[in-house]
Amino acid sequence: AAKKSQPFDKLPVVTLEDGRRIAQSAAISRWVAHFAGLLPADPTEAARQDMLFEAAQELCGGQFNVNPICNVLDVEGEEYAAKKQAFMENWAVASENLGAQLLAPFFGGDSPLMSDFQIFHICDNTLALDASALVALCLSASLSLFLSAPPIPRTHSHSRRCASPGRCADDG
């Protein structure tokens, strides 16, 4: 019922203090990234961040959607096994493509930007499916650096509430 009252009949939605609402996860991510200083000022570099974000976003939708595999499906069920296998087969190519874009240590260069957070989310879920997936595909160095990076201003208070990366204990 709550979805019907939202833009596009979907969640997530951010309601601003003035009552305006921002829907769609990519739009919300860009909005947060703008205020957190996680978007480059250069339009070409900002477009590159969008490109990387969207490439990772494709792994959160459609037939290769990692989110319900990790968060909804019964790990003992046939659907889980089939979807996990399909995702992992796609991940082999997707992770190589993403890895080719890495500007060590982060996708934005010396510090994390918007795309790093989306890619980290995908990597975190992929690790939940197969702990060897990133090591085998040489992305673990980036993940390790991401986990050991100093707090980013204006995102630190949120991340302190998280029990582990990608899994917030209580956001309400």
> Can you read off the two tokens belonging to residue 75?
């790990």
Sorting pLDDT into bands at 50, 70 and 90, what band is 164?
very low
pLDDT value, residue 71? 83
Phi and psi (nearest 5°) for 104? -35, 140
Evaluate if residue 171 carries a pLDDT over 50: no
Phi, psi of 77 (to 5 degrees): -85, 160
Residue 161 is predicted with a pLDDT of 39
Q: Kindly report, residue by residue over 115-158, the tens digit of the pLDDT.
A: 988 888 888 888 888 877 776 444 544 555 556 566 555 544 44
Give the Cα separation of 108 and 39 in Å (integer). 9
Give residue 43's pLDDT. 95
DSSP, residue by residue, 77-141: SHHHHHHHHHHHHHHHHHHHHHHTT-BTTBTTBSS--HHHHHHHHHHHHHHHH-TTHHHHTT-HH
DSSP annotation of 152 reads: P
pLDDT tens per residue across span 31-78: 999 989 999 999 999 999 999 999 988 888 777 788 888 888 888 989
Q: Average pLDDT in the 79-107 region?
A: 86
Average confidence (pLDDT) over 17-42: 91
Cα Dmax for the chain: 48
Amino acid identity, residue 149? A
What average pLDDT does range 70-99 have in this prediction? 88
Q: Which of 100 and 159 is assigned the larger pLDDT? A: 100
